[in-house]
Amino acid sequence: MNKEQLITLTKEFIHEATHYNMDYLDRIYSKDLTIVMVDENDQVNTMDKDQTLGYFQERLESGAPPLSEESDFLYAGGDDKLAMVLVSRTMQFNARLEKMLFTLFWQKTDIGWQVVKESSSITPA
């Protein structure tokens, strides 16, 4: 997958995730998903697929407004099996404005491209 295709795929992912499209998220997240989040105090939290879907479902059911889609793509590269995207985002999260650096690992599977790993570094904006 070339850089432009990878950025397009990731923009679609961001849009669908920020609008809590649960069918899309269930399909795009691998069953082996691991998300690792590190805050400004170096505290680490992790979530698997079920926990991640639960988080988005809770936001959907609570009527939470969509998250910001503001994104600055810093890197996108890979091959026909595995790809990585680094994207900087600023959004209202955890009751404050935060700057988040995401690293997404995409893997080509028998059902298409899926997010298999994600990390984020979170600091107040």
Question: Hey, what CATH class is 3-124 in?
Answer: alpha beta
According to the model, what pLDDT value does residue 125 have?
83
According to the model, what pLDDT value does residue 96 have?
86
Per-position pLDDT tens, the chain of length 125: 899 999 999 999 999 999 999 999 999 999 999 999 999 999 999 999 999 999 999 999 999 999 999 999 999 999 999 999 999 999 887 778 999 999 999 999 999 999 999 999 999 88
Q: Strands, E, within the chain: which ranges? A: 29-38, 44-48, 72-78, 82-93, 96-109, 112-124
Residue spans per domain, the chain: 3-124
Region of 116 (left: φ > 0; alpha: ψ -120 to 50; beta: rest) is alpha
According to the model, what pLDDT value does residue 92 have?
84
